[in-house]
Amino acid sequence: MAEGDNRSTNQLAAETASLEEHLQGWGEVILVTDKILRWEKPWFPPAMLSVVSFVFLMIYYLDPSVLSGVSCFVMLLCLADYLVPALAPRIFGSSKWTTEQQQRFHEICSNLVKTRRKIVGWWKRLFAFKEEKPKMYFTTMLCSLAVIAWIGQQVHNLFLTYLIVSFFLLFPGLNKHGIISKYAGMAKREVNKLLKQKEKKNE
């Protein structure tokens, strides 16, 4: 058991080191993005939502085709991949990195590796569920996809995408400041109250 844990830890460290090496040119940008996503300043959330809202309003106004939208998005990614590693050191000054910044960069890469592992684990469990209980798997998948399709039919695609993107961008800050755990706890207490009331009625 200890050998397995050591092997897993060593593999995690190796994957983290590899990711750090690949993202080294993006280090300064990643640290700034991390500060924004974790709401280190109170004006970060409204500023972030303002930028996202402006981008989606421009998409709504221009109304590009799917092909044009995908092409522009990929083009921006290519430009960023080329320009950021070259310009970031001049703008932020990577030589001025502190030990704290290097440690935070290491933590971010480690968290990214752990998140990737979790996604792969969920994917494997999904296929294991399919093999073990195929009828329940297909029933669950069909019902879930039908609900998603119904929601997509009721809400405008662009607005739904805007809500999803906004939620994912706000999630790290909501999680750090305990807002998610607070409301999740409130919801759990309300559900428990309803269940207790139902049990009393049945008695």
pLDDT of residue 101: 84
Helix (H) or strand (E) holding 190: helix 179-202
pTM: 0.76
CB 113 within 8 A of CB 15: yes
Q: Which residue has the higher pLDDT, 199 or 163?
A: 163
Q: Which residue has the higher pLDDT, 95 or 57?
A: 57
Closest C-alpha to 185, from 193, 1, 134 = 193
